[in-house]
Amino acid sequence: MRRLVREHELRASDLIQPLFVVHGSNIEREIGSMPGVYQRSVDGALEREVDQVHALGIPAILLFGLPAAKDEIGSENFAEDGIVQRALRHLRQRYPDLLLITDVCCCEYTSHGHCGVMRDGAVDNDATLEILGRVVVSHAEAGADIVAPSGMMDGMVAAIRAALDGAGHTDRAILSYAVKYASAFYGPFREAADSAPAFGDRRQYQMDPANVREGLLEAALDEAEGADILMVKPALAYLDVVRAVRERTDLPLAAYNVSGEYSLVKAAARQGWIDERRVVLEALTGMRRAGADVIITYHAQEAARWLAEEAGR
Ligand code: PBG
């Protein structure tokens, strides 16, 4: 009877698996603060993982790259042979029907670790838009289906849409990190992507956790600029924001179950303090109930496996 009257469903097809790619060969390096999450080289190491994602019915991956070298403007971010571009070409050929999404930001690529180019100790918003345009065109050319700008620059969606269209990539979509908070829950990610700011923090461009109306404004702006999917990030401490955005837009909505949310669960599970499987499925179901159509989560493969087992019962 509970199954018959269930109001919200969590499915493997709702999930996006984030993956970290690095230069080199045969690399499969576990991230200390994120047990079960690895940096992988673009060869068998990555293929083994993506084969599993695909086999589990997870429709999409979100790629993050660690460059060989960093500089002031993050040149590898838009290089033809950059790490994400190489991964895209490799995966596009091998998995024609897997949705390839790329995170589009400067922080992994710049020597200072900020999400844009700097001028006088602050991010230069409009100079950054020009760089983002070059990044998305290089990702589209390498085979990305969706680009996901995460830097919270003003006007980023419009600039990216114009750059893609100008290069003939009118068929590529934009998943905007529209409502992104300056959150301590990104802590473990900064180890995974080696992207911690060298000085200062991200409060110039990321939102105050105390604000929800500002999030609605950010979402409305991105929708007007041409975003195809909106995102709220992080997820668990912001489910009210997910619900509020859901009620204001008819666009598909994503929630990002971020690194710190993942690591908290993993740490408690290792101690034997929680039932990991139930906690994960409950948290992901809560995101769906709050109004998220799509969930980006490091738990994607485990969750898909558990859901398949439950369906088989
Ligand atoms: C890049 C970016 C970040 C995350 C996704 N893209 C880090 C940040 O903004 O500092 C965080 C993801 C996570 O914590 O899982 N700007």
Active site residue 266: no
At residue 181, the pLDDT reads: 98
- Give the single-character DSSP code of 185: G
* Distance from C-alpha of 147 to C-alpha of 16, rounded to nearest angstrom: 13
Residue 174: name the closest of 232, 117, 225, 124 by CA. 225
Residue nearest atom 10 of ligand 1, based on CA coordinates: 186
The four Cα atoms 279, 282, 287, 292 give a dihedral, to 10 degrees, of 130
What is the number of the ligand 1 atom nearest to the C-alpha of 64? Answer: 6
| Side-chain half-sphere CA neighbours of 141 within 13 A | 16
Would you call the peptide bond into 234 cis, given omega within 30 degrees of 0 as the criterion? yes
Query: pTM higher than 0.85, yes or no?
Result: yes
Report H helices in the chain: 44-55, 83-94, 125-142, 156-166, 187-192, 213-225, 239-248, 259-270, 276-290, 300-311
Burial class (CB within 10 angstroms; exposed 0-12, middle 13-18, buried 19+) of 80: exposed
- Confidence band (pLDDT; 50, 70, 90) for 216? very high
16-63 pLDDT, tens digit per residue, is 999 999 999 999 999 999 999 999 999 999 999 999 999 999 999 999
Residue 241, pLDDT above cutoff 90 = yes
At residue 311, the pLDDT reads: 87
At residue 116, the pLDDT reads: 95
* Distance from C-alpha of 257 to C-alpha of 237, rounded to nearest angstrom: 10
At residue 45, the pLDDT reads: 97
CA of 236 to the centre of ligand 1 (A): 15
At residue 290, the pLDDT reads: 98
At residue 132, the pLDDT reads: 98
Contact 103 CB / ligand 1 (< 6 Å): yes
- Confidence band (pLDDT; 50, 70, 90) for 312? confident
Residues 99, 137 contacting (CB under 8 angstroms): no
**Identity of residue 154:** D
Residue nearest atom 14 of ligand 1, based on CA coordinates: 186
Residue 285, pLDDT above cutoff 90 = yes
Q: What does residue 127 show for φ and ψ, rounded to 5 degrees?
A: -65, -30
- Confidence band (pLDDT; 50, 70, 90) for 69? very high
What is the number of the ligand 1 atom nearest to the C-alpha of 298? Answer: 15
Residue 298, pLDDT above cutoff 80 = yes
* Distance from C-alpha of 108 to C-alpha of 192, rounded to nearest angstrom: 10
246-283 pLDDT, tens digit per residue, is 999 999 999 999 999 999 999 999 999 999 999 999 99
**Other CB atoms closer than 10 Å to residue 128's CB: what's the count?**
27
Contact 205 CB / ligand 1 (< 6 Å): no
- Confidence band (pLDDT; 50, 70, 90) for 127? very high
Pocket test for ligand 1, best of 186, 232, 298 (most atoms within 8 A of CB): 186
Of 180, 246, 266, 288, catalytic = 180
Residues 59, 101 contacting (CB under 8 angstroms): no
At residue 275, the pLDDT reads: 98
At residue 147, the pLDDT reads: 98
Residue 235: name the closest of 252, 219, 218, 256 by CA. 256
* Distance from C-alpha of 110 to C-alpha of 115, rounded to nearest angstrom: 8
**Identity of residue 136:** V
Residue nearest atom 2 of ligand 1, based on CA coordinates: 150
At residue 157, the pLDDT reads: 98
Burial class (CB within 10 angstroms; exposed 0-12, middle 13-18, buried 19+) of 255: buried
CA of 189 to the centre of ligand 1 (A): 6
Instruction: Tell me the three state secondary structure of residue 233.
Output: strand
State the CATH class of domain 12-311.
Answer: alpha beta
What is the number of the ligand 1 atom nearest to the C-alpha of 260? Answer: 14
Q: Mean pLDDT score of the chain, rounded to an integer?
A: 97
Residue 158, pLDDT above cutoff 90 = yes
Instruction: Tell me the three state secondary structure of residue 109.
Output: coil
